[in-house]
């Protein structure tokens, strides 16, 4: 191949590369937009907060990355709030509806390890004060469970198992309603415990109960607020 042919081939490849780069940038922008939309959903916001919690205790994750995750999560909360506002303007406020928040883990390390390992996450809605003062919050819990199917890569498919728990509004401290307090509260009544048994399974439920009971027995700050 002579020099002119090589130069022509080089120009052809550069044009192709430029076109592919533009297409890749467009695809990445669409992916980021889709991810932003998902983060503002119930599952998305919960998993976004869990990503922050995981990153915050992982030494390999840089402070810059944690800040990036925090920014993305904050943007998701804003997007979810806008969606609620627009929905309310169109159809009016419905009891129990409101701004969407994710449940932090809480201050019980033993319990946190169990919940992170099982990927148990939760969200709840806080109605604006001009619409209602809630006496309870409905916490939407979810965790992944296998479907029994296998995808094209040979990986087990999963779906998210869900449960909704009512807890007294006073459990929310400041802007936080922790999973520790939610679970600790509902373990104390038969209906809540039965709900959690169906959601967590007997083995995980027993471990969760033991972790909460141990913290309560220690009498420290880790005991759930009843």
136 lies in a domain?
yes
75 lies in a domain?
no
Q: Classify residue 173 by its DSSP letter.
A: B
Confidence category of residue 66, pLDDT binned at 50, 70, 90: very high
Domain count, the chain: 1
Q: Flag whether pLDDT at 183 surpasses 60.
A: yes
Return the minimum-mean-pLDDT range out of 49-53, 112-116, 150-154, 212-216.
Answer: 150-154
**Under 8 Å between Cβ of 177 and 106:** no
Domain that holds residue 100: 94-218
Q: Classify residue 170 by its DSSP letter.
A: G
Q: Flag whether pLDDT at 14 surpasses 90.
A: no
Q: What are the start-end ranges of the H helices in 60-188? A: 63-91, 109-118, 179-186
Q: Flag whether pLDDT at 49 surpasses 80.
A: yes
Check residues 119 and 173 and name the one with the higher pLDDT.
119
pLDDT at position 17: 74
88 lies in a domain?
no
35 lies in a domain?
no
- What distance in Å separates the CA atoms of residue 30 and residue 50, rounded to the nearest whole number? 24
Q: Flag whether pLDDT at 13 surpasses 90.
A: no
pTM: predicted TM-score of the whole model, two decimal places: 0.82
Percent of the chain with pLDDT over 70: 90
- What distance in Å separates the CA atoms of residue 219 and residue 121, rounded to the nearest whole number? 26
**Under 8 Å between Cβ of 168 and 202:** no
Q: 187: buried, middle or exposed (CB in 10 Å: 19+, 13-18, 0-12)?
A: middle
Nearest to 36 by CA among 71, 67, 62, 61: 71
66 lies in a domain?
no
Q: Flag whether pLDDT at 225 surpasses 50.
A: no
Percent of the chain with pLDDT over 90: 69
pLDDT at position 144: 95
Average pLDDT, the chain: 88
């Amino acid at each position: 191949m002579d020099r002119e042919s090589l130069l022509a081939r080089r120009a052809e490849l550069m044009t192709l590369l430029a076109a592919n780069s533009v297409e890749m940038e467009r695809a990445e922008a669409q992916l980021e937009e889709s991810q932003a939309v998902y983060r503002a959903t119930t599952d998305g916001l919960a998993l976004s907060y869990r990503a922050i919690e995981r990153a915050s205790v992982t030494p390999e994750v840089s402070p810059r990355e944690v800040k990036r995750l925090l920014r993305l999560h904050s943007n998701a909360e804003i997007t979810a709030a806008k969606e609620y506002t627009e929905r309310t303007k169109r159809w009016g406020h419905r009891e129990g509806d409101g701004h969407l928040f994710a449940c932090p883990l809480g201050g019980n390390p033993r319990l946190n390890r169990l919940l992170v390992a099982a990927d148990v996450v939760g969200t709840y809605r806080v109605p604006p004060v001009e619409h209602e003062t809630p006496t309870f919050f409905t916490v939407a819990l979810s965790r992944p469970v296998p479907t029994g199917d296998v995808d094209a890569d040979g990986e087990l498919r999963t779906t998210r198992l869900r449960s909704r728990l009512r807890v007294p509004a006073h459990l929310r401290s400041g802007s936080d309603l922790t999973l520790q307090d939610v679970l600790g509260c509902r373990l104390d009544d038969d209906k809540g415990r039965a709900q959690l048994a169906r959601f967590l399974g007997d083995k995980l439920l027993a471990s969760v109960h033991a972790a909460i009971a141990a913290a309560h027995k220690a009498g420290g700050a880790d005991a759930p607020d009843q």
